Amino acid sequence: MEPGFLINVLAFIVASTFRSATPLIFASLGGVFSERSGVVNIGLEGIMLFGAFFGMLGSYLTRDPWFGVFLGMLVGALIALLHAFLAVDLRANQVVSGVAINLLATSGTAFLLQKLFHTAGQSETVPKIRDWQIPFLKDIPFLGEAVGKLNPLVYLAVVLVFLSGYFLFKTTYGLRIRAVGENPEAAETVGISVRKVRYFSVVLSGILGGLAGVYLSLGQMDMFKENMSAGKGFIALAAVIAGKWKPKGAFLACILFGFAEAMEGQFQLMGMDIPKHFLHMLPYAVTLVLILGLVGRSVAPEASGIPYEGRK
């Protein structure tokens, strides 16, 4: 093979790795915030699906995909608010409430699709978010080809990883989130409102989950398809665990999953005779192995998943 061709292929793989990782990155950042505050959000999968639907709807109604971004995030926040209400105020079983969100998302979006578009399966096409070309980056050899022209949400995802890391570990509010997730009683003793911090974190996770979904319908595609989240919310949660509840760690895990997905496309392009089923299986199998290898060394926030009963 010529070196030039090889570099092209490599650049293509890097680009598609980032493209595939982006929805996972948004959702896993959401998972980090929620779990750091002590609330398990297994409903991220469903929140993503809602985000994808309402992103499409926003773009359909205004012909402006950025309104879709806004609407998708807003609906993600509202669903998360419901989860926060159940988990924090009603001390609901967080896994069960997450299952309910996922159920609601699957049938709810299918129902809305029929009501609003009178079709099943997929919506009509809507204006999508166009790729951005980054001025200086695009002229650098290899890098320009790989990451010089991508969807703006891809760049946003990478920026958010660093912002989230900073927020969580360098700011007072970040410290509060971590304190509430580790030891809510102690946090309350020093005057932190466990309730407020958990509400904030869960809603933030919903906004990020909604954004992840918007990327699916308006970044990767230009329409909504039934069940298009296809387990990505769950993979994002696994990335949270594999990344030890840290934004950068989760980011790396997402990149790994994105790479697996990119290779899947690559194998198909090169016409290699690997059954696609094995490639589809790969991210889930990798996740399983990662979880096994990391438990023991990877420690969850102490109070994660436990409803806080208040100081007595």
Partner 1 sequence: MSNNPEKNLLEEYSQKLTFPLIALFIALFAGGLLIAWLGENPFNAFLHLFKGAFGKLSNFGETLVYVSPLILTGLSVALSFRCGLFNIGAEGQYIMGMMGAAWVGSIFTGLPAWIHIPLTMGAGVLAGFVWAAIPGFFKARYGAHEVISTIMMNYIALHFTGYLVNYVLMAPGGYLPATRVISSSAKLTRLIPPSRANTGIFFALASLILVYIFLWKTKWGFEIRAVGLNSEAARYAGINVTKNIILAMALSGSLAGLAGALQVQGIQYRFNDLFGFTGYGFDGIAVALLGNNHPAGILLSAFLFGSLNCGALQMQSVAGVPKDLIGIMQSVIVFFISADYLLRKKLERPFSIDMEEDSPGKEVQSNGTGLSH
Which chain residues interact with partner 1 by CB under 8 A? 35, 40, 42, 82, 86, 90-97, 99-101, 103-104, 106-108, 110-111, 114-115, 120, 227, 231, 234, 237-238, 241, 275, 277-278, 280-281, 284-285, 287-288, 291-292, 295-296, 298-300, 304-310, 312
Q: How many CA atoms lie within 13 A of 81 on its CB side?
A: 6
In the chain, the largest separation of any two C-alpha atoms, in whole Å, equals: 72
- Minimal distance, residue 94 CB to partner 1, in Å: 8
Cα 41 versus chain centre, distance? 12
- Minimal distance, residue 181 CB to partner 1, in Å: 11
Nearer to partner 1, 127 or 305 (CB): 305
Dihedral of CA 213/101/54/200: which sign? Answer: negative
Nearer to partner 1, 20 or 287 (CB): 287
- Minimal distance, residue 110 CB to partner 1, in Å: 4
Nearer to partner 1, 8 or 298 (CB): 298
- Minimal distance, residue 210 CB to partner 1, in Å: 18
Three-point CA angle 253, 23, 197, nearest 5°: 85
Nearer to partner 1, 83 or 176 (CB): 83
Nearer to partner 1, 42 or 204 (CB): 42
* Distances in whole angstroms, Cα of residue 183 to Cα of each of 90, 187, 189, 298: 19, 6, 10, 18
Alpha-carbon gap, residue 164 to 174, rounded angstroms: 9
